[in-house]
Amino acid sequence: MLEDVPDATSHLVDALSAITAQLVDDSSDSGSTLYQIAGTCVNVLEADAAGIMVVDPRGGVAVVAASDERARLVELLQTQIDQGPCIDCMRTSEIVEASDLHEITGRWPDFTSAVLEAGYRSVLAVPMRLDGRTVGGLNLLYTRTEGISAHDRGWSVILARLAVLGLTQEVGEPRTGRLAERTMSLLNDRVHVGHATGLVAGTLGIAPAAACAALEDYAQGNGVALRDVAHRITEGTVRPAELLVRQS
């Protein structure tokens, strides 16, 4: 298993470095990034095959990457019969795991029969989410039946998130323009947060660092962006004293 490989962490770091390099490389594209992620599932997480499918805006789902032809056919089968772990994970937006496909033939009868014949014995499917909705799924296939480790499961979630970034990857002028836009937005947010921090510190008679921490705690505790809390403070819809009340 991966945990027993001494340099497993080094391999993961190298793989993530390669993927993120593609995400910021103007000469790369979404397809290349997704194939790299599928390959990482095999080369680093020790899956025997991996595939990625996405929700087609025109309807249904489509296979967009696979580690090899056999994996592509397994993924394609799921889209054709509308059945299988990756289909389920996309429908429920939850991780779907089957450590021994022989034991659950009734869940996906057509899929299980075909995938067992292809030599796979277990599967892990991870939803790919964007803005609260599922946009695809990452499917890892194994020829062994021992349980999938928490380590592999956790890293597969990270790779699924990187796959989403790959899908939304922009190149050329649009990306440069978006970067400038977001940088200006970030700088403006910093001004508002700084103003709110000073207002809270002055009103409550506390140090700026404590005021900033109170803003961050309030934002995290209420599931609100820090910039929005800052705006509420400066606009008077949230009083500085409320920050401390909510923490207690």
- pLDDT tens for each residue of the chain, 248 residues long: 444 444 667 777 888 888 888 777 765 677 778 888 999 999 888 899 999 999 988 888 999 999 999 999 999 999 999 999 999 999 999 999 999 999 988 999 999 999 999 999 999 999 999 988 999 999 999 999 877 888 889 999 999 999 988 888 665 556 566 656 766 777 788 888 999 999 999 999 999 989 998 998 998 888 888 989 999 999 999 999 999 875 54
Q: What is the pLDDT of residue 5?
A: 47
- 76 vs 144: CA distance, rounded Å: 22
Q: 2-167: what CATH class?
A: alpha beta
pTM of the model: 0.71
- The CA distances from residue 45 to 68, 136, 151, in Å, are 16, 20, 9
Residue type, 111: F
Question: Which among 161, 136, 162 has a CA at the least distance from the CA of 19?
Answer: 162
> Which CATH number applies to 175-247?
1.10.10
Residue 248, both tokens: 């207690």
- 28 vs 43: CA distance, rounded Å: 21
H or E element in which residue 96 lies: strand 96-98
Domain residue limits, the chain? 2-167, 175-247
Q: What is the pLDDT of residue 175?
A: 57
Q: What is the pLDDT of residue 110?
A: 93
Going edge to edge, which strands form the sheet with 133-142?
Answer: 61-66, 49-55, 133-142, 122-130, 96-98
Q: What is the pLDDT of residue 15?
A: 83
